[in-house]
Amino acid sequence: MTLADRTLARFAAIVGAAPDLAVRAPGRVNLIGEHTDYNDGFVLPAAIGLQSIVAVRRRPDSIVRVIAADFGDAVSEFDLAKPIARDADQPWCNYIRGVASVLQAEGVDLGGLDMLVAGDIPQGSGLSSSASLSVASGMALGGLFAPGRFDATQIALIAQRAECDFVGMRCGNMDQLASAHGADGHALLIDCRNLDVRPVALPAETAILIVHSGISRGLVDGHYNERRAQCEAVARQLGAPALRDVTGEQLETAQPDLDLVAYRRARHVVTENARTLAAADAMTSGDLVALGELMAASHASMRDDFEITLPAIDALVAELQTAIGQSGGARMTGGGFGGAVVALVEADAVEAVVAHIEARYRTPKGTKPLVMVERAHDGASFL
């Protein structure tokens, strides 16, 4: 039985009726382009098979009852007739509450409903479980109370606003756009300023390998918001709208006037934008060697200039690169400070690479890592 089938069956068992509609929204893995999205830059993610499912049914009052199947059917309720507040006891629901709050601000007349949410994206993995849940919730609520009003990009931006303004995680728009726009067999080259999304075909016979380090991230409590503030401060100092507008030459010229840490943060973003565009070209031409080199340079920049990796993550990336060789590459993916590592691997080498990692890497708990063999999937859709 699929996750969708289990979710629909669980909804009927709890609510006593079938949902009015249900939505699936995938997680994403970012192949290259880290911390460039909120700097108005370029990213190259792919939607994956892991996903969130949201099922909803209207009810006659103003109460929204949200049930989390993955947390023992834990319930979080809020009243649409009152200001929507965060739930300190059930923080997973704050993404949904945030989406409802944004939709109300957009003039959508929401009504009471029962909602069941479920998913199979590992928490804290850097695979955008939060964006997946937010996009699915936005599509479900929009589809129920404002059908046809919002397109995929608008749903993604609603989800981003919920996470930034309600949850307090000042994320960019990559995760939500990737979940909403995913294309089967393709990565997405996203211009995070003008929101252009261009599918880029992954090289034939190439697998996406994701290895969870076993180190969970907590970005709201970590240094993500600090990194964003540092980037914005450098852009202001250089008189640029965002770091996307700063060239490498301009940055080097300004280096004597910049704090060393600020300079390194900016250098990561400026060089990462260039790497991302080069990676899209390499992907189009099927050049796995060039892709591997770009991914390695990206990881080194995250480690040395942006300082968001950890020694265990660095070791895992090194082991993956050793196993892969020159045809493909590996790097940390996601916001940093734990989570997962992504690798592009020739399909016929996957088994050997997985065996190498399982033999040589252990999580902080001493267990073998969770290894996921993925491919690029379509974006969010109604079931």
Of the three residues 198, 213, 232, the one that is the final residue of a domain is: 198
Is the pLDDT reported for residue 170 higher than 90? no
What average pLDDT score do residues 304-310 get? Answer: 95
Identify whether residues 145 and 260 lie together within a single domain.
no
- Residue 220: the pLDDT is 43
**pLDDT digit string (tens) for 56-84?**
999 999 999 999 999 999 999 999 999 99
Identify whether residues 133 and 17 lie together within a single domain.
yes
What average pLDDT score do residues 258-280 get? Answer: 97
Domain extent, residue 56, equals 3-198
Of the three residues 151, 181, 198, the one that is the final residue of a domain is: 198
Identify whether residues 209 and 184 lie together within a single domain.
no
Q: What are the catalytic residues?
A: 175
**pLDDT digit string (tens) for 261-271?**
999 999 999 99
In sign, the C-alpha dihedral spanning 266, 301, 332, 207 is positive
- Residue 25: the pLDDT is 98
Is the pLDDT reported for residue 185 higher than 60? yes
Identify whether residues 293 and 361 lie together within a single domain.
yes
What average pLDDT score do residues 355-383 get? Answer: 96
For residue 35, tell me if it sits in a domain. yes
Identify whether residues 119 and 229 lie together within a single domain.
no
pLDDT above 70: percentage of residues in the chain = 98
Identify whether residues 142 and 223 lie together within a single domain.
no
Identify whether residues 70 and 142 lie together within a single domain.
yes
Is the pLDDT reported for residue 101 higher than 50? yes
Mean pLDDT is lowest, of 21-25, 33-37, 101-105, 335-339, for: 335-339
Is the pLDDT reported for residue 157 higher than 50? yes
What average pLDDT score do residues 343-366 get? Answer: 96
**pLDDT digit string (tens) for 124-155?**
777 889 999 999 999 999 999 999 999 999 99
Identify whether residues 149 and 265 lie together within a single domain.
no
Question: What is the identity of the amino acid at 27?
Answer: G
For residue 86, tell me if it sits in a domain. yes
Identify whether residues 164 and 286 lie together within a single domain.
no
How many folded domains does the chain comprise? 2
For residue 379, tell me if it sits in a domain. no
Mean pLDDT is lowest, of 55-64, 146-155, 223-232, 296-305, for: 223-232
Identify whether residues 317 and 225 lie together within a single domain.
yes
- Residue 222: the pLDDT is 57
- Residue 336: the pLDDT is 87
Q: Tell me how far CA of residue 161 lies from CA of 76, 125, 220, 227, 290, in angstroms.
A: 21, 22, 15, 19, 36
Identify whether residues 298 and 369 lie together within a single domain.
yes
Average pLDDT over the chain, rounded to an integer: 95
- Residue 75: the pLDDT is 97
Is the pLDDT reported for residue 364 higher than 60? yes
Q: How confident is the model at residue 172 (pLDDT cuts 50, 70, 90)?
A: confident
Identify whether residues 194 and 206 lie together within a single domain.
no
